[in-house]
């Protein structure tokens, strides 16, 4: 589809150049179709994808045609000199129309380019801050959040580290596609249960870190308990087999944000203990 679209764009490009050249040869270079050619040299660069190297050749051809067309008006050459009186009568009008069309096209494309550039930047920002499978924040973004929290000397928070139980077994039994669906289900459930100011991070693999600012231990237990209850209701199927999802969570509450790494380490130790002692639980 993309190849045929590029072909249509290229055809239209040369059609406009040829039409402009013939029009100027008829009018003796007085109708300003040179503006079309100059405009199209810029347009073709935007419309064709960056990997299409032919666009540079097309631009060179367009530039040569623009120089050639400019010579027509200099030497006042025309295929039909008998039409010059009529041409000169409408010269200003046609010139103005062609100039307006060219300027409008360039204005439209420049704004289209800016929109595309802004969209690309937003995608890059999203990609750099989020895990692409789950849509949760990544560790890089989390480190930035905690750095800012340190500067603001934020106090009283909870951190939880959770791990999907028997995730390797799920992958080995049902395949990685099902494993990815499980991670997506866990992440969506996390987002639906956390307070609006909380930060959920895919820490790596099947591990997640939850940062709950201004949340004490009792409140954190309520939030995480609600999350586990909702997660148990999630229905992930491989063919006709229901894949159950449980998680083990280590929870730690602190009052000194500058020591958040230590609290995460403690939460990780509690998670490890929970894994060794039955799984599917919150260790506080």
Q: Supply the residues annotated as catalytic.
A: 206
Q: Tokens 């060219």 sit at which residue?
A: 102
205 to 159, 209, 251: CA distances (angstroms): 18, 12, 19
Structure tokens at 213: 């600012």
Give the pairing of strands 207-213 and 199-204: antiparallel
Structure tokens at 38: 């100059």
Cα dihedral across residues 96, 98, 101, 102: positive or negative: negative
Tell me how far the alpha carbon of residue 74 is from its chain's centroid: 49
């Amino acid at each position: 589809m993309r190849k045929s679209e590029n072909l249509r764009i290229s055809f239209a490009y040369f059609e406009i150049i040829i039409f402009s050249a013939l029009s100027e040869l008829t009018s003796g270079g007085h109708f300003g179709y040179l503006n079309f050619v100059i405009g199209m040299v810029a347009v073709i660069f935007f419309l064709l994808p960056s990997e299409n190297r032919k666009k540079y050749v097309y631009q060179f051809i367009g530039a040569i045609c623009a120089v050639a067309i400019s010579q027509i008006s200099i030497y006042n050459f025309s295929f039909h000199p008998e039409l010059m009186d009529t041409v000169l009568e409408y010269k200003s009008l046609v010139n103005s129309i062609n100039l307006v069309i060219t300027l409008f096209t360039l204005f439209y494309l420049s704004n289209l380019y800016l929109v595309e550039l802004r969209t690309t930047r937003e995608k890059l920002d999203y990609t750099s801050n989020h895990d692409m499978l789950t849509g949760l924040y990544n560790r890089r973004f989390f480190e930035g959040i905690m750095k800012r929290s340190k500067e603001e000397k934020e106090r009283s928070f909870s951190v939880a580290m959770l791990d999907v139980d028997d995730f390797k077994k799920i992958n080995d039994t049902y395949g990685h596609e099902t494993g990815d669906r499980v991670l997506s289900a866990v992440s969506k459930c996390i987002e639906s249960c956390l307070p609006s100011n909380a930060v959920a991070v895919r820490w790596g693999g099947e591990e997640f870190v939850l940062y709950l600012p201004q949340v004490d231990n009792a409140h954190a237990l309520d939030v995480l308990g609600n999350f586990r209850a909702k997660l148990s209701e999630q229905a992930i199927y491989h063919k006709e087999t229901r894949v159950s999802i449980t998680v083990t969570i280590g929870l730690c509450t602190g009052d000194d944000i500058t020591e958040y790494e230590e609290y995460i380490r403690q939460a990780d130790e509690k998670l490890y203990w929970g894994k060794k002692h039955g799984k599917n639980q919150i260790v506080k």
